[in-house]
Amino acid sequence: MPSNNPAFRGLGGAGGGQQQAGWGSTPQFGAPGQYGAPTQDPYAAPSPYAATTTRYLTMDDVVTKTGLSFLVTVLAAAAVWAAPGDAAWGLALPAVLVAFVLGLVISFKQIANPIATLSYGALYGVALGAISEAFNDIYPGIVMQALIGTFGVFGGMLVVYKTGAVRVTPKLTRWVFGALIGALVLMLANFVAYFFMDDGLGIRSDGPIGILFSVVMIGIAAFLLLMDFDMADEAIRRGAPAKFAWYIAFGLLVTVVWLYIEILRLLSYLRD
């Protein structure tokens, strides 16, 4: 089954890409030997019904690996938040930088490995713990509100996907990724503008433009969740190996972390 998702390039279909002979095919043996006996024993050929050692991806694999990745992230964030004083703040920026580089490597090389995914989750957990603590000190209770909002969006998009209310089509995928690239370019331009204007382009301020931009970013992250759900379903349909669940878990972790930060930012604007 063809796929437009680059994550599935090189993946075979169900059965690991091996093609079995059809029911009507006739095995061809070598030239008859002495007394007309075939030189190749047909019973020595491997049976098409022999058990295979390859284990294919299931939804249980996706749920388990994703849950474990989120658990590591939450535990790392909780440990940083519980650390006395501001010692954990010194780890936040290095953790973000290392996690960013590791995320690029995982994405471009499509690494499906528990060490890579869990390391990414732990690194971003350190950064999230420090960021969440800072926001909660300024706006008490905002972290709980952001968590509720994140789970709400995640659950809502899962329902939307499962009911087929919004179908992931190649056209929708192009629109979502086009919007994502546009938003990233705009954020880069805003960063450069900070060197010339106090508020940059205003897309990261608590004014109407900043609020609107955060709402757009949350919308993009929500639709990226649909892409992640579809990636999991397609990987199962195509008979991907079980370890591919770690790559799916990584994709979901990236999207949910970004969604949480954007909701946290939007709530801070509304508080101001």
Express each pLDDT in 224-245 by its tens digit: 999 999 999 999 998 889 999 9
Is 169 part of any domain?
A: yes
The residues with which 241 forms a beta bridge, in sequence order, are 56
CB burial of 107-124 (b: ≥16 within 10 Å; e: otherwise) equals eeeebbeeebbbbbbbbb
Is 42 part of any domain?
A: no
Question: Mean per-residue pLDDT for 17-45?
Answer: 42
Which of 72, 59, 80 minimizes the C-alpha distance to 116?
A: 72
Binned at pLDDT 50, 70 and 90, residue 85 comes out as: low
Is 29 part of any domain?
A: no
Question: Mean per-residue pLDDT for 106-130?
Answer: 91
Q: What is the pLDDT of residue 200?
A: 78
Q: What is the pLDDT of residue 26?
A: 40
Whether the CB-CB separation of 66 and 248 falls below 8 Å is answered with yes
Q: What is the pLDDT of residue 208?
A: 87
Q: What is the pLDDT of residue 22?
A: 37
Binned at pLDDT 50, 70 and 90, residue 149 comes out as: very high
Rounded Cα–Cα distance for residues 156 and 161 (Å): 9
User: With 50 as the cut, is the pLDDT of residue 8 above it?
Assistant: no
- What's the mean pLDDT when you consider all of the chain? 81
Q: What is the pLDDT of residue 87?
A: 64
Q: What is the pLDDT of residue 82?
A: 84
Is 35 part of any domain?
A: no
Binned at pLDDT 50, 70 and 90, residue 12 comes out as: very low
Is 264 part of any domain?
A: yes
Out of 90-99, 143-152, 244-253, pick the least confident: 90-99
Is 24 part of any domain?
A: no
Which residue has better confidence, 207 or 152? 152
Is 143 part of any domain?
A: yes
Q: Which two tokens stand for residue 255?
A: 């999207």
Q: What is the pLDDT of residue 86?
A: 67
Which residue segment(s) compose the domain that 148 sits in? 47-271
Vertex 213 angle, CA 212 and 215, to 5°: 65
Domain count across the chain: 1
Is 21 part of any domain?
A: no
pTM here is: 0.77
